[in-house]
Amino acid sequence: MSKRTLIWIGVVTVVVIVSVVAYYFATGTPLPGSGVNGSGPNGASSAQGSVASSTTAQPLPSGGANIAVPGQNATSVSQGIAAPTIVASGSVSGVTSFRSFNITETATAFSPATIIVNQGDTVHINLTAQGGAYDFTQPDLGLRLALKSGQTKLVQFDALLSGKFTFYCSSCGGPAKGPVGYIEVVAK
């Protein structure tokens, strides 16, 4: 093969790879091998966490002993804490729960910005982008989801590890520039 043919093959290969990555990012579909276990209908992102080396996780203060996990439509939660819209038994024994939350993302904030769940709970977050295209990123749980303005997508995961996990919009500049939020997983 000539040098020119090899160069063209290299250029075409790079273009194909960049196109595939751009497609996955634009549609919110997780990249194969990205730690996200799959994408369901309507752009649902799901992951089961295992943190080998954390970049955005930290232990809860006092091990979470003083943190109350809100119940369905709780009215006495502090400002910025999400009250789940649905809480249902997640197991026959009733030890774990299914919890669903509604979160809105803008260029400057997640609202509400904090989600509190028990370790072992299955968590669904209905995330809506307002005023622009954003993403939801939580690398320790393998979560990354792109949203267009006005779009709502489902983020789903099992809260297997206790701790405080920071989520953010990477396309907005990451956790240093915001918006940021927190998932607090309280050990039982």
Largest CA distance in the chain: 73
Neighbours of 97 (CB within 10 A): 22
C-alpha 138 chain-centroid distance: 5
Per-residue pLDDT of the chain (188 residues; tens, 9 = 90+): 788 887 877 777 766 675 655 555 554 444 444 434 334 444 444 444 334 456 788 888 877 778 888 887 777 778 889 989 988 987 777 788 999 999 999 999 999 999 999 999 999 999 999 999 999 999 999 999 999 999 999 999 999 999 999 999 999 999 989 899 999 999 97
Indicate the domain borders of the chain. Answer: 33-186
Which CATH code is given to the segment(s) 33-186? Answer: 2.60.40.420
d(CA 181, CA 175) in angstroms, rounded, equals 9
What is the rounded radius of gyration, in angstroms, for the C-alpha atoms of the chain?
19
d(CA 80, CA 111) in angstroms, rounded, equals 7
Neighbours of 86 (CB within 10 A): 12
Q: What is the pLDDT of residues 83-106, one digit of tens each?
A: 899 889 877 777 889 999 999 999
Give the pTM: 0.69
Helix or strand or coil: residue 56?
A: coil
